[in-house]
Structure 1
Amino acid sequence: MMIKKPAILVVFFMVLGTLGAQQLTRFAVVDMTKVYTAFFRESRAVREFEERSRQVQVEIDRMTEEIQELRLSHARAEARGDQEQVLRLENDISRRSEYLKEYYQLKTAELEKQKDRLAQSSTFLDQVLTEIRYIAESEGYTMVLSLKDNTGIIWYSPTVDITDKLIQSLSARAGR
């Protein structure tokens, strides 16, 4: 009988140790673009990015308006029966439309790269990662995933999205 008690105690402590070793894995997600937009909107680099975006949009609007004016001229030339003018305007419209399409693609790609560089700046990342680490450790998350970077996320519950909490925490630390 005496041998059974220590054996039962050993088994009991082994089970207890196993239960303690099993940890529930908790995940959280963060929308880094939203954090970037909300927290760093006032920075000089962001203002420069937004100004560049506005300039690109102004140029796109100007080119679009020119093409629309050419289309109106084209319609008037057709109504007059001026085939030479119609052909010249069709060529001009086609050329300018193709240029606008290429310009738009190029500038969109440039702006996207600039935005990514801003979001990847070491100061930004250091602050955000420090704050993510604090939130994750204090709330028991074992892993935090970026919504944009991880295309493997098919669905997540809004309860694991700590984006707004991160923005509030960063803002509080910055004294905003």
Structure 2
Amino acid sequence: MNRKMMALALVVFIGAAFNAAAQQITRVAVVDLQKIYLTYYKDSQSVRAIEEDRLRNQQEIQRLSEEIRSLEAQRQALERSGDYEAARQLATQMIEKIQFLNDFTRIKQHELDERMRTLSETNTFVRTLYQTIQGVAEAEGYSLVLSSRNSDLVVLWFSSMVDITDKVIQELMEQ
């Protein structure tokens, strides 16, 4: 009898542990903002302009990074050939370019953040979009919503079951 009580208590304890673990699962959703912007093309013009600027900034950052990598390769080649003075000059150039790249990245990111903040405070479409995303996510039980196309955020895998883009569009149409 004592063994049965211990076994039953163990089963209840394990069941409670699994139940507690199941309640702590975070549900994540993704939204394709580009699809929403295309669906609401006229309303999203200011957001798309910011996204285009962000893309141009990324391209410039990539170009500057390639220049720095090229200078590093040249510097290493000069050191291997024994031309240490030219290698030192290239190293100085690299330091200047790296500093410029860091400043450029910081300034451009600040500009984009500020534009997006201002837009989210003044643009009715943006406010409505984010309120709708929040409403759909809360109604569906999601605790985190990610942009599925944001190049700054790498999503390695997601199920189409968590994509709430169409539901957000539907909610926006009903408003």
Q: What's the TM-score bracket when you normalise by the shorter of the two chains? A: 0.5 to 0.7
TM-align CA RMSD? 3.9
TM-score (norm 1): 0.54
Partner Cα distance (2:72, 2:83) in 1:
14
Kindly provide the amino acid, as one letter, of the partner of residue 124 in structure 2. T
State whether residues 37 and 48 of structure 2, in contact with CA within 8 Å, keep that contact through their aligned partners in structure 1. no
- Deviation (angstroms), 1:69: 0.7
Q: State the shift of 1:125 in Å.
A: 6.2
Q: Aligned partners of 2:170, 2:72: CA distance in 1, in Å?
A: 53
TM-score, normalised to structure 2, is: 0.54
Identity score, percent: 22
| 1:71-125 Cα distance to aligned partner (Å, 9 max, x none) | 0110110011111101101100111111101111111111111122222224236
Q: Is 1:159 aligned to residue 148 of structure 2?
A: no
Aligned residues: 123
Q: Which has the larger radius of gyration?
A: 1
Gaps of 5+ in 1: 1-33, 136-146, 148-155
**Residues 121 and 127 in structure 2, CA contact (< 8 A), matched pair in contact too:** no
Correspondences of 1:13-162 after superposition (within 5 Å): 39-40=36-37, 42=41, 43-124=44-125, 127=128, 159=141
Q: Which has the higher contact order (CA 8 A, sep 6+)?
A: 1
Q: Deviations over 1:115-167 (max 9, x none)?
A: 222222242367469979xx7xxxxxxxxxxx9xxxxxxxx997376x85982
Amino acid at match of 1:119: S
